[in-house]
A and B are shown apart, each in its own frame.
Chain A
Amino acid sequence: MSSHEIQNREAPAVQILELTQNRAVVRVGDEESDFTLIPREEGVYDVQTPTGWSRLYVTRTERGIWWVHHDGKVYEIDKSRHSSEDSDASDDASGKIRAPTPAKVAAVLVAVGAEVGEDDSVVVLEAMKTEQSLTAGVRGTVTEVNVEEGQQVAMDELLVVVEPASDGAEDDL
């Protein structure tokens, strides 16, 4: 999970007061008003609140993310987010350039040993006929180039590694 931002509000306590195949009654938080839910087809619920009915759609991905559609809005909810904060560190300033999306490598602009600046492009990717150029994100030396032109890469695949220049190096005279 690199650039995804899933902001969940503090979840209120949810109490299921009644649950059958055809009907559920739920109390959310400590509000007096209870919701009645009618399960329709798989992942489709009609929900009755004091103000009326609305239809919600819900599903879960293989990676454990819940997707819910309510009133024209989509919510992505990650309920089991206790593992894997680790990969988040690999962005921007670390010098590890990964594919943000599945793509084809359109051009590799650097070789091992090359000196790059923060805003220098290192790899150009092409996905769905659109080019996207990835910058080094850090000033330093290229230590790894794992891809070549024309290659198909997966999301989050490590493309290029830049060893950040040590601080205090004399760079601008």
Chain B
Amino acid sequence: VRIARAAETLGIETVGVYAFPDNASLHVTSCSRAEPLEGDTPSQAYLDIQGILEVAERNNCDAIHPGYGFLSENPSFAAACADKGIIFVGPTADTISSMGKKIEARALMEKAQVPVIPGATLDEGVGSLETKAAEVGFPVLIKASAGGGGKGMRRVDAPEELRAALEGAQREAQGSFGDSTIYLERLISPARHVEVQIIGDTHGDVRHLGTRDCSVQRRYQKVVEEAPAPGLPVQVTDALHEAALKAARAVDYVGAGTVEFIVGPNLDFYFLEMNTRLQVEHPVTEEIYGIDLVQTQLRIAMGEKLAEILPHTTARGASFECRIYAEDPSNNFLPAPGPLLKFIAPEGPGIRVDTGVRSGDEITPYFDPMIAKIVTYGSDRTSALARMEIALKQTVILGTRTNLSFLSDIIAHADFQEEAVDTGFLAREFEDWAHPEPEETNEVFAVLAVHEALWNRSGIAGVAGGDATDTNSPWRPGAVSLTGRGSK
């Protein structure tokens, strides 16, 4: 959706592809045309490189934008595009491949003098890893070499937990990425997750577009992001920018990418990984720089120079992003796929909503349960945050449980309002957090009664529920009884 809209501003026609359950979804209807992909499961279809290339050739496509997931960090896909003479919007297959294997990336970064976290690899089997883990020092993190976004990542505090965690991580890595290679890193704690947006053109020019802070994480999943990273002295920010540029130049980076860093308690920082695609949280950078990163990607792919596309890159103000997930906060945040009966996005100055769904869509269990990203902008952190509070309150999602109440409580938390937080913030401050079960207001009862009555009257049989009977005929004023269920 995001991509189709950016292409439209450049007068580019788009061809979408979709797997069966998505045949009328927003990403399909936003494109100029769309074609189906085949596969037993939706994710298989979206990962079908040959199928996608056939669609591209049939439609005489000049370029393919891989989005943020599925094939966006798949070097074989980038290479296959190159073979067919189709431009892959992103870095070269070599860059993706070396950064995609996190182990190789670490080695490259060390060579480029970008600081990395002490760690170890798994080449010599499980036995030796246990020794190495001890050398690295517990607690350690097990990570998938092909991973990202916390998938397949596990914290291990003691040697005896190592083996079980290892096997689970490998299985999850195999399932999610088709590659079970894993490695270890020392856990830096308390730490902040700060990343630098980078962008390179095909003429060797690489620039940074400032920092983002993504420390608000739940089980390594980013929940709230902001730009710029708050409360960092300018020397630290400059050093982060410089390190990110070194990292990008080391792999001749082309397109939009992100260099992620862990910032330790003494503002010491380490390379975490490089994402060779646009990140989910890219809108906060767009807001403070006033640019369209997808459009920039497309213009780079067309061979334009950064100096022409982005002559002035100055950040101003602050921006936040909240990820709304279909997950059940009263049931351990398990994914809660279901019908999106009503979805009304917030609006107003400084509020932006990126979404791929609308009312009437079904949140399927196949993909990430993200419903929408709410992004706010303000002239400073406080005003951007205040707008987020309002935006979340105005977001209406009915039919599917979401993390909205959780997000609101995070935004309202004094520590978060005050200053930057570390990655342990949610685990620490929200450990005992429970989804509030508010008591119904009188307005709620009033609306229920009227809504049911109006529905009965308009003759939509069966919609209003089994209890409505003729004796309570709603167009004759009278008592309508509502029976609430007492808690068990």
Question: Do A and B come together as binding partners?
Answer: yes
> In the docked arrangement, what's the CA distance between A18 and B437, Å?
31
- The reply to whether B484 and A130 contact each other, CB–CB distance below 8 Å, is no
B331 beta carbon closer than 8 Å to chain A: yes
- The reply to whether A60 and B445 contact each other, CB–CB distance below 8 Å, is no
Closest Cβ of chain A: how far from B329's Cβ, in Å?
11
- The reply to whether B475 and A60 contact each other, CB–CB distance below 8 Å, is no
Stretch at the interface among A22-30, A89-97, A135-143, A158-166: A22-30
Q: Which of B331, B369, B443, B478 contacts A100 (CB under 8 A)?
A: B331
- The reply to whether B450 and A45 contact each other, CB–CB distance below 8 Å, is yes
Give the residues in chain A near B124, CB-CB below 8 Å. none
Closest Cβ of chain B: how far from A166's Cβ, in Å?
28
Closest Cβ of chain B: how far from A128's Cβ, in Å?
5
> In the docked arrangement, what's the CA distance between A45 and B449, Å?
12
A145 beta carbon closer than 8 Å to chain B: no
Cβ contacts A90-122/B at 8 Å (1 or 0 each) = 000000000011110011000000000000000
**How many residues on the B side are at the interface (Cβ–Cβ under 8 A)?**
68
B290 beta carbon closer than 8 Å to chain A: no
**With A7-B487, A26-B450, A127-B335 known to touch, is A57 a contact of B437 (CB < 8 Å)?**
no
Q: Which of B365, B450, B465, B478 contacts A24 (CB under 8 A)?
A: B450
A123 beta carbon closer than 8 Å to chain B: no
- The reply to whether A72 and B394 contact each other, CB–CB distance below 8 Å, is yes
Closest Cβ of chain B: how far from A19's Cβ, in Å?
6
B440 beta carbon closer than 8 Å to chain A: yes
**How many residues on the A side are at the interface (Cβ–Cβ under 8 A)?**
68
- The reply to whether A19 and B453 contact each other, CB–CB distance below 8 Å, is yes
Give the residues in chain A near B436, CB-CB below 8 Å. 73
Number of A-B contacts (CB under 8 A): 203
> In the docked arrangement, what's the CA distance between A54 and B442, Å?
12
Closest Cβ of chain A: how far from B401's Cβ, in Å?
8
Cβ contacts B351-376/A at 8 Å (1 or 0 each) = 00000000000000111110000000
> In the docked arrangement, what's the CA distance between A125 and B329, Å?
19
- The reply to whether A61 and B449 contact each other, CB–CB distance below 8 Å, is no
Give the residues in chain A near B450, CB-CB below 8 Å. 16, 19, 24, 26, 37, 39, 45
- Nearest to B43 among chain A residues (CB) is A129
Closest Cβ of chain B: how far from A34's Cβ, in Å?
9
Central interface residue in A24, A59, A81, A129, by most chain B CB within 10 Å: A129
Q: Which of B341, B457, B467 contacts A61 (CB under 8 A)?
A: B341
Cβ contacts B473-488/A at 8 Å (1 or 0 each) = 0110111111111110
> In the docked arrangement, what's the CA distance between A54 and B443, Å?
9
B471 beta carbon closer than 8 Å to chain A: no
Give the residues in chain A near B467, CB-CB below 8 Å. 79-80
Q: List 30 A-B contacts (CB under 8 A).
A: A3-B330, A3-B331, A5-B437, A11-B482, A11-B483, A14-B482, A18-B477, A24-B450, A26-B446, A35-B446, A37-B446, A37-B450, A56-B444, A57-B398, A58-B398, A59-B341, A60-B464, A70-B441, A72-B392, A72-B394, A72-B408, A73-B438, A74-B398, A75-B444, A79-B448, A79-B465, A79-B482, A79-B483, A101-B336, A102-B365
Taking A14-B482, A28-B445, A106-B175 as known contacts, 17 extra A-B pairs with beta carbons closer than 8 A to each other, sorted by chain A number, are A9-B484, A12-B442, A13-B479, A15-B477, A19-B475, A37-B446, A45-B447, A59-B399, A60-B341, A68-B444, A68-B447, A79-B483, A81-B485, A102-B337, A106-B171, A126-B172, A130-B335
Residue numbers of A with Cβ under 8 A of B are 3-19, 21, 24, 26, 28-29, 31, 35, 37, 39, 43, 45, 47, 49, 54, 56-62, 64, 66-75, 77-81, 100-103, 106-107, 124, 126-132
Residue numbers of B with Cβ under 8 A of A are 151, 168, 171-172, 175-176, 330-331, 334-337, 339, 341-342, 344, 365-369, 392-394, 396-399, 404-405, 408, 436-451, 453-454, 457, 463-467, 474-475, 477-487
